[in-house]
Amino acid sequence: PYLIPSKQKRIDELQKLLHDIQTVPVISGVSGALSHFAKTKSNQQQIYSNEEILLLKSELDDLLANECPWCGEKILRSIDEPFIDPLDYESVYA
């Protein structure tokens, strides 16, 4: 994908976080309730509510929906650039 680096980094972070979030039954509380958690960098558990998970998914959807990852902003900005850098032209065709 050809996303600008800041967007690519955030997408990678969101995908990793959503992948790491696990669902486990809650021992205390209402029977059948679920708790979502992921390990933080310090190996502590961070608990996420359903609403927080939906917000993370929504942010990821917004980042991907606003731009095509294969022909997005980065590609459009480089449309006027030559395929071969003028400084490398001689060495390529020599």
Query: pTM higher than 0.75, yes or no?
Result: no
**In this model, does residue 21 exceed pLDDT 90?**
no
When pLDDT is averaged across residues 38-54 and rounded to a whole number, the result is: 72
Find tokens 């309730």 and name the residue: 33
The residue segments making up the domain with residue 56 are 5-93
Polymer length in residues for the chain? 94
Query: Is the C-alpha dihedral spanning 47, 52, 57, 60 positive or negative?
Result: negative
Q: Which residue has the tokens 């060495």?
A: 91
Give me the number of domains the chain comprises.
1
pLDDT band at 88 (very low <50, low <70, confident <90, very high): confident
**Residues 6 or more apart in contact with residue 7 via CB below 8 angstroms:** 63, 67
Count of H helices and E strands in the chain? Answer: 4, 3
Between residues 54 and 33, the one the model is more confident about = 54
The per-residue pLDDT of the chain, averaged, comes to 75
40's enclosing H/E stretch is none
Is the per-residue pLDDT at 1 higher than 90? no
pLDDT at 10 over 80: yes
